[in-house]
Each structure stands twice: as structure tokens, then as C-alpha cells.
Copies of this chain bind each other. A is one copy, B any other.
Amino acid sequence: MSAYSTVPVPPTAIRFDTRNLTLEPAGPTLVRRMSDLDGLFADREAWQAAIDDGDPVVYTVASSLVPETDRELPQSITTIHPGTTAGEFWMTKGHQHPEHQGEIYLGLRGTGGLLMFDGTETRYLEMTPDTIGYIPPGWAHRSINTGDEPYSFLAVYPGGAGHDYGWVLEHGLGKRVYAGRSGPDLRPFGS
């Protein structure tokens, strides 16, 4: 089974396979099904119906061997499948780093959005292949698939930053991203 390396991590050549969207040597792969996304979508009934209708995989996160520990610089490839739930694009849970640190997302395939919220202001970046989305320290962030095919990106982030998912459930991301007639339609979070 793939697993994170133990610390200290040795100097390692990691194969970045942009065709198969893997990092080798591999660490764990996280699979998020609809049932893992409690509280994310505005329409709770539509969310429950999607679970009852097969509980689809919404996204996966495939990590390299580098662990999420202080001073290390882990990487992962996230793939969000295309879809909407009551018009709201499929998305990641989103998180805040309890230890405020910067992070980058590099678009690899498909089209997406990178939604960021610092508790007051919201920013939205369009993500396509060869776009680096820069997430400054202190900005909670979520990725969204805004296209018809899987949207994949490489993340690089300080291993000691941590992941606070509860912050996003409590504070939201400022906006919700719906499928509009001519692209993403950003609506206030409370709507």
C-alpha cells in the first residue's frame, strides 16, 4: 500500500505523471464521495438525493510520499469530477490553514475555479492548465470544477500548515458558484 514517508524524508526523485495524474513514489489517495460533503451544498435535499442515487465520487486527492509534517513541502494532485447539485458546481470541502502559510495550485487539465475568502473579502480565480493560483497566507480556499470534464491541479503546500475544514463550514467562502448560462455564476453565500 502507498504511504507517506517517515521523517526524515530522503532526497527523492518524484515522477510527476501528467497523463495518469499520479505522483510516484505515492502516498495515500483520499476519495471524497458525496456523503463526505455534509453541509457543503446549499440544497440539502438535492445533496441527500445524490447520495441515495449512488453516492458518487466527487473528488480524489493523490499525494506523493512527502508527509504533511512541519518543514516538509508535500504535493498532491486533486481531480474534481464534473457535475452540479441543484445547479451548484461540484467542489472540494475547502479549508483554512490554522498555521497561516501560502500555497500554490497548478492547473493541469480541465477548467476550474479557485475561491478564496479571508473572513471579509472573497476572490475568485479562473483556473486552466498552466495557471498557478496563488493562495496567500490567511485565505481559506476551495476548488470548483466549472467544466464538462474532470478538473485536475497540482497542489504544493507547507507540511506544517494544517487543514481546518470546520472554519469553512462555519464561515463559508463568501460566495457559492453555480452553473450560469455563460459560465460560473457567483452568488452570495447565504442565498
Which A positions have Cβ atoms within 8 angstroms of B? 8-18, 23, 64, 66, 71-73, 75, 100-104, 106, 114, 116, 123, 125-127, 130-139, 156-159
Are A102 and B13 interface neighbours, CB within 8 A?
Answer: no
* A102-B159, A106-B16 as given contacts; A134 in contact with B71, CB under 8 Å: no
Supposing A73-B157, A158-B73 touch, asked if A134 and B14 sit within 8 A by C-beta, the answer is yes
11 contacts between A and B (CB under 8 A): A11-B133, A13-B127, A13-B134, A14-B131, A14-B132, A64-B132, A66-B134, A71-B137, A72-B137, A73-B102, A73-B156
Kindly list chain B residues whose C-beta atoms are within 8 Å of the C-beta of A8. Answer: 136-138
- A102-B159, A104-B156, A106-B16 in contact; A11/B134 too (CB < 8 A)? yes
Q: Which of B73, B102, B132, B135 is within 8 Å of A104, CB to CB?
A: B73
Residue of chain B at shortest CB distance from A66: B134
Scoring A23, A75, A137, A138 by chain B CB atoms within 10 A of each residue's CB, the highest score goes to A137
Beta-carbon contact of B102 and A72 below 8 Å: yes
A71 and B102 in contact, given A11-B125, A13-B125 (Cβ under 8 angstroms): yes
Complex CA gap A136/B8 in Å reads: 8
Give Cα distance in the complex from A132 to B179, angstroms.
35
A167 to B7, CA, bound (A): 24
Minimum CB–CB distance from A153 to chain B (whole Å) comes to 12
Bound together, the chains give a CA A138 to CA B7 distance in angstroms of 12
B9, B130, B158: the one within 8 Å of A134 (CB): B9
Please name all residues of chain B whose beta carbon is closer than 8 Å to the beta carbon of A135 when the two chains form the complex: 11
Cβ contact of A12, chosen from B17, B106, B134, B158, cutoff 8 A = B134
Which residue of B13, B66, B71, B136 is within 8 Å of A101 (Cβ)?
Answer: B71
